[in-house]
Amino acid sequence: MTVMRPALFLDRDGVLNVDRGYVSRIEDFEWIEGAKECVATFKARGWFVFVVTNQSGIARGFYTEEDMEKLHAHMAEELAEHGTAIDRYYHAPWHEEGEIARYRKHSIDRKPGPGMLLQAMADFPVNREQSFLIGDKQTDIEAAHAAGVGAFLFKGGNLATFAEWALASFEDGMRG
């Protein structure tokens, strides 16, 4: 029997790393305070941890999927050095006004659509009712709600501290 586990869904830019606008290069990447600790703590609890990130900069021609994958590999290396990992990175490179034709379309994967979260729940044995997302934009919150998971709006500070507060609030809400 497959054991269902809760999942922490994390937006990338503005939650895991400082959002400098279309971050695609390792030299522009800077972790948010407490981000690595947040991932490690939830993984130690037995949770899945997923990144769900819109990457319209790909559709806009600012960088390529390969650039993004190199950045995610860099993140994975740094998390491994911290003794932890992201279970999977999901991205939505689509944008209806994109410059790159193959990415110029509407997609349910692009937040506020729930596609990336739904795909993670199809790929892994996620307990939806015990899962939540931390994002920094209203579209993140809408995507989580559309996918049937909890959601918290992160406005900066220490992500590990915020995630502990979010977990406590979420569990209180489940009991209430």
Supply the residues annotated as catalytic. Answer: 11, 13
Cα separations in angstroms, 67 against 51, 70, 137, 145:
16, 5, 24, 30
Residue at token pair 């993670």: 120
On whether the CB atoms of residues 32 and 16 are closer than 8 A, the answer is: yes
On whether the CB atoms of residues 127 and 148 are closer than 8 A, the answer is: no
